[in-house]
Structure 1
Amino acid sequence: MNQTPTAAELRNRLVDEMIMTTVTLTPDVEHALRTVSREAFLPGIDLKDAYTDQAVTIKDNPNGPLALSCASVPSVVAMMLVQLDVQPGDNILEIGAGTGYNAALLAELTGGLGSVTSIDIDPDVALHARTMLNRTGYQRVTVIERDGLIGAPENAPYDRMLAAVGLWDVPTAWWDQLRDGGRLVLPLRWRGQTRSVALTRRGDTLVSDDMKLCGFVPIIGQDGERTARLNEDDTVRVHYDEDQVVDADALSVSLRDTPGIETLSEQRIGGEESFDGVWLRATASDDRVCRLEVTSDALKQELIIRPVIPGRSPLLVDGDSLAYLIVRREGTDPDRPFRLGAAAYGPRAVDLAQDLIGHIEAWGNARTSVPRLTITPAKTDAAIAGHVINKPESRLTLTY
């Protein structure tokens, strides 16, 4: 007779699966994950769903497709906690309270002598987090209904700051709240892709030592990304940053009136092998990198050569021409049966495709390499060697 597994059994099973497949856990993070009951922060959710490695929406967004707030994917939560490297006694600020579950994990990590402040702009979300933390015995966590871009200066300086919402820019207000030598982990978005970046403050600079692919609900109040439709049905779109120039009309004409070309690189991948580093590598030297989104309707109508990932593929845009990443099964290598390549449209299709192939080959020569990201306030005059991306409140410098 099969017995229904208990919450503790499901929780431990999920942590075991993380260790085997997705995340290298530190002992303290593993202990916290096995201790805090995720289901207690998700009332009404089926127990098995609470311990599945997936996000759970807790508040829908009436103005868009993305949730207003959600419980993040457990393995991503674990990954970011490892990046944060919380020490006993740390004073921690969390931006984006969510369900309160993450704050409970932080409370476990910092211990009885530490402190955790969690803020959220949405009153319902903040109330939910406060209520769940009280019910589960984490009354000492401070929950504040507050715009996350402001932070919580009343409890600063912080040893650790963790953003559980996606950021497009690093707010100026945060600099005075993180102590020198303190650590900031945030999902940061540039050129259409998001990375969980772990940074240490060194005077007027934040310097990364780790970054991993992720996706998060964007913070309210930052609007630096633009979207342009490339056909009348709005089934092919380009997403780009405000400092980039995209001529949607010219690109639409090229997509409609010029034949697409395909060029393959020498780089082969296996079926489960990650190639997101191509996108990251391109952003460290090329300001033409954007994100292409192609819907299933556009693919069914064969309006465009299929991108490697229809919903989110790296794209180079130059005037009336574009090139994006594709993959093709080719060859007999059973371990790496696929080749990466470029599809391109427009008068400069051939050149642009070759530029993208160059990024693919550069990635292929050092597949696990990641750049160092150095962030300084936008008004700082200090010059740092590397590729610079300017944002209203910060300056990003990427160096391989």
Structure 2
Amino acid sequence: MTAIDDAPGADVLRTAMVRELRKDAITSENVASAFAAVPRHRFAPGADLELAYAIRSTVPVKKDEHGLETSVMSAAHLQAVMLEQAGVEPGMNVLEIGSNGYNAALIQELVGGRGQVTTVDIDADVVKQARTCLDDAGYGQVRTVIADAEGGVPDGAPYDRIIVTVAAWDIPPAWINGLTEKGRLIVPLTVCGTTRAIALDRDGDGLVSSSYCLSRFVPMQGEGVARERSVMLRDGVAVQSDDPRTSLNAEALNDALNSPRLVRWSGEAYDLPDELELYLTINLPNRARLHASQDVVGQEVVEASALLGVPALVSKDSIAYRTRRENADTGGFESGVIAHGPQAEELAEQYVDLLQRWARDYRRRGAATFRYLPGPAPTPPPEAAVLRRHGIVTVTWA
């Protein structure tokens, strides 16, 4: 299906990329063959060849007026994992939401000549470049569409697979309704600032997960934009939340940071941080996420765990968040909590209880099951439910 490869050294780099991906991302021969066939550099015009074939690097496609990336070609490692999650088979009809062209070409290799691939994006410039790259690389049969993906692409439905390659805050009805009875949705779902690529299968009127992994994508644009709140406590310190039940009082929380810190240790190992973070994000009451700059961390106002964001428990005037320390007795590191404010003792106790519960009962990969239930939330909603515009997300741990 591909055009002649005219970039010296690209074939060597592509072979090396596939070899690396086989170590911990690719598990099937059909996905390996797709990555070996598609000339990735053809979808990254102007990018260095080494960058194009680096398995954990994204390639910029478009930036906004502030220099922020609004579209990228995802890292090959994440694309491989998500295609394995999708289980695309020959002859399938597949919709990709978020277009660059390369992933659509990979999917076309997987569905073969009898299958159909549609890729949609809200940005006309991105779709135009994807169309040019697809044609140049020999994938003219892939259909490209300019549209807000909130409404899906109904004229090609139903789809056996819908693969979303932008971070989604919610799951619109059009995506569920656009699936076949045995269809599967792969979506990077964001909850309180952290994202998991989740494989969701039809389950009655809703969806249930079969796998998930940590991921990072540029956010959805258009009608599906995330409904999050973020408040600055001081220069270099912010708290965000997407739970309407969580109150964020910037002045009171900033005053809390001025109070002495309370430290409590759990006596449990700190490991599998992505799984622990997911558990805390879902199960903390009054969930939020604390962010701090390097300067603030250097001043010892906030711990380094907040550099990339850390699950936080907040009240009207207090805050608690996770930390760690070296401890050979727990296998290297021990998890703990730092709390500030008048309710520091209470928040620290709640937080430590969750750390201990996770370590005791759920400390392994893949223990969580996600369910998406469309429609209004029950009254009152479950405490750990993630409330969304179109439905609710619940997560249980085995």
TM-score (norm 2): 0.91
TM-superposed CA distance for 1:164, in Å, is 0.4
Alignment correspondent of 1:389? 386
Identify which of 280, 289, 293 aligns with 1:291. Answer: 289
Q: Aligned partners of 2:226, 2:283: CA distance in 1, in Å?
A: 24
Q: Aligned partners of 2:377, 2:202: CA distance in 1, in Å?
A: 15
Pairing 1:1-400 to 2, within 5 Å after superposition:
6-20=9-23, 22-53=24-55, 54-63=57-66, 66-98=68-100, 100-221=101-222, 222-231=225-234, 233=235, 235-243=236-244, 244-256=246-258, 258-269=259-270, 273-304=271-302, 306-331=303-328, 336-365=331-360, 366-368=362-364, 369-379=366-376, 387-400=384-397
Q: Aligned partners of 2:18, 2:263: CA distance in 1, in Å?
A: 43
Q: Aligned partners of 2:28, 2:130: CA distance in 1, in Å?
A: 26
2:363 maps to a residue whose letter is R
Contact 2:289–2:312 under 8 Å retained in 1: yes
Q: Aligned partners of 1:125, 1:288: CA distance in 2, in Å?
A: 38
**CA distances 1:31-55 after superposition (whole Å, capped 9, x unpaired):** 1111111111011111111111201
TM-superposed CA distance for 1:384, in Å, is 11
Aligned pair count?
A: 385
Contact 1:266–1:339 under 8 Å retained in 2: yes
Contact 1:387–1:399 under 8 Å retained in 2: no
Percent identity between the aligned chains? Answer: 36
2:289 maps to a residue whose letter is R
Contact 1:378–1:390 under 8 Å retained in 2: no
1:73 maps to a residue whose letter is A
1:10 maps to a residue whose letter is L
> Aligned in 2, Cα 1:8/1:386: closer, same or farther, shift over 3 Å?
farther
Q: Aligned partners of 1:382, 1:115: CA distance in 2, in Å?
A: 42
**CA distances 1:43-101 after superposition (whole Å, capped 9, x unpaired):** 111111111120111111225x6411001111011111011110111100000002x00
Q: Aligned partners of 1:209, 1:387: CA distance in 2, in Å?
A: 20
SS of residue in 1 equivalent to 2:149: coil
Alignment correspondent of 2:4? none
TM-superposed CA distance for 1:383, in Å, is 11
CA RMSD of superposed structures (Å): 2.2
**CA distances 1:265-298 after superposition (whole Å, capped 9, x unpaired):** 22224xxx53121221124433322211100121
SS of residue in 2 equivalent to 1:149: helix
Q: Aligned partners of 1:388, 1:301: CA distance in 2, in Å?
A: 36
TM-superposed CA distance for 1:24, in Å, is 4.5
Q: Aligned partners of 1:308, 1:276: CA distance in 2, in Å?
A: 13
Q: Aligned partners of 1:353, 1:265: CA distance in 2, in Å?
A: 10
> Aligned in 2, Cα 1:91/1:382: closer, same or farther, shift over 3 Å?
farther
Q: Aligned partners of 2:329, 2:268: CA distance in 1, in Å?
A: 14
Contact 1:251–1:322 under 8 Å retained in 2: yes
TM-superposed CA distance for 1:157, in Å, is 0.5
Q: Aligned partners of 1:143, 1:119: CA distance in 2, in Å?
A: 6
Q: Aligned partners of 1:223, 1:191: CA distance in 2, in Å?
A: 10
2:9 maps to a residue whose letter is T
Q: Aligned partners of 2:376, 2:287: CA distance in 1, in Å?
A: 25
Contact 1:281–1:363 under 8 Å retained in 2: yes
> Aligned in 2, Cα 1:90/1:384: closer, same or farther, shift over 3 Å?
farther
TM-superposed CA distance for 1:15, in Å, is 2.0
Q: Aligned partners of 1:184, 1:264: CA distance in 2, in Å?
A: 40
TM-superposed CA distance for 1:161, in Å, is 0.1
Consecutive unaligned residues in structure 1, runs of 5 or more: none
1:202 maps to a residue whose letter is D
Structure with the higher fraction of residues in helix conformation: 2
